[in-house]
Structure 1
């Protein structure tokens, strides 16, 4: 019996809508507000990179009052 593994996945459409409603016109401005490089934001949004702690924290700070469950979901990773 193997233990389950979990990961955090970005809710892409909700994240994009929240960023637009918050007034962020570009990934550069959003990344600056999140304290990240623009390339990191772009890679997470494209699905190339999973969101890490810095991305999650930055997103929650920049897109307040959005909560974790609004922007992210915990998913089981299949082996």
Structure 2
């Protein structure tokens, strides 16, 4: 049986990183990440998996946080 993998947001760690970075709203975070606010809201709520633009934007906006700090690879 083959496995399939995806990337999931570590929601608690992500929220802590957002607060530490000083973002006061989802709009401000989304603007810095260069993604739509609705994308940030959907990923944070678990309704959408983070795609390349979200991951890249998060790593840029929340530097020096690393991929392993904010995301995990999960089996689906």
TM-score tier after normalising by the smaller chain length: over 0.9
Q: Tell me whether 1:11 sits opposite 2:10 in the alignment.
A: yes
Which whole-Å CA distance do the structure 2 matches of 1:5 and 1:42 have between them?
A: 25
SS at match of 1:36: coil
Larger Rg over CA atoms: 1
Q: Runs of 5+ in structure 1 lacking a partner?
A: none
Cα deviations by residue, 1:3-30 (Å, 9 ceiling, x for unpaired): 1000000000000010011000000000
**Number of residues paired by the alignment?**
76
Deviation above 3 Å: which 4+ runs of structure 1?
A: none
- Report the TM-score, using the length of structure 1 for normalisation: 0.95
Q: CA RMSD in A?
A: 0.4
Q: Runs of 5+ in structure 2 lacking a partner?
A: none
